[in-house]
Structure 1
Amino acid sequence: MISVLFAVLTALTNGAASVLQRRAARTVPDSEAMRLSLIGHLLRRRTWLAGIGLVIVAAVCQAVALATGPIAVVQPIFVIELPATLLMAGFVMRVRLPASLWYAVAAMTLGLALGMISAAPQGDGAAVRGAVWIPALILTGLFEAALIGTALGVRGNARGALLGLAAACGYALTAALMKDAMARLRGGGGAVALLASWQLYAT
């Protein structure tokens, strides 16, 4: 239950962070999009900094969830971040969301729940060893570069979708790295093993 609780907290804090970051980003001129100067603009906005603070809180909650439960159970729970984000965004930005959007969210959530019940994931795999990370990191990096590179050449919803997919892949890799780092913490090495783990810093 601890892993489920902290997975839910991760989803909620990540959702709140997304809303705050989006609100801050809306104040930046379109000409600054996809430029390094965008970071400079955002760093001067308290709303964006508050969003970054919540990202850090979410990372801690995710670490606790992954340390106490299997990744196959913890990660799918994060899907509730989507409806939570939409609800918070609608309230904060005073935007009414169409009913069709909620149908899509409900269908996705129901599909995930049915998939989880059918698969019944269990167990808590050991830490990844040796050079197994190398192909995973290279392939993920290439895929991320292709998505972001393509996003640079398009605008509107297509850019949002490409960057959203890149973010999702980044989150997936981060979760795997975090799980590996936390496995070393629980493997008998304690905090020393965790702090000596490159996976923690890669996360």
Structure 2
Amino acid sequence: MAEHKPQMSVEDFETIASGAPETVTLEFIHGRFGVKKARDGDHGTVMSWLTKRCMRARPDLDLCGSQGLRVDAGGHSRARPDAVLTPEAHFAGHGAWADPDGALMVVEVTSYDPDTDRRKRHEKPAAYGQAGIPLYLLIDRDSCTVTVHSGPDRRVGGYRDARVTTFGETLVLPDPVGIELDTEILKDYVR
């Protein structure tokens, strides 16, 4: 990734983010300020589907939908994934931005906006991998695929492996998660 000057300090970003209304989701990835588009009903339904599957298969885990994470090697980026899979009650007592240690998987569902490609397919996997999060699950409603990124690379960012599954196929989330997902129903939640 090319070096660039951050748009602001992470402290300034946190100040702005703390005052944002609940209808706005702000992120700061690799020094770039970003606003996540409001989620549509299909996005929420996909997250509900995933939550049910995870909780049924692994009741010892939580799928947290609103936890912000300090990501990248220096902790200077702030991401708000669509969900973070952790051991039960892992984020209890943490503030708005927690360290990613202990997170087993982050989840993103694409939205129909121009930033999806840059943020969810490039910047976020780089930041999540650099943070050492074991798995990144991207449910891509544009391409009708689910990509499981594994083998995080803390040194350079990103993941060593990415396995793509087409909606309708069954996939197994590797260790440390170990959950099987039948993705057939995801076909119903795309435009």
Structure of higher RCO (CA pairs closer than 8 Å, 6+ residues apart): 1
- Confirm or deny a common fold (TM above 0.5): no
Q: TM-score range by the shorter chain?
A: under 0.3
Larger strand proportion, structure 1 or 2?
2
Scaled by the length of structure 2, what TM-score is found?
0.25
Q: If the length of structure 1 is used for normalisation, what is the TM-score?
A: 0.24
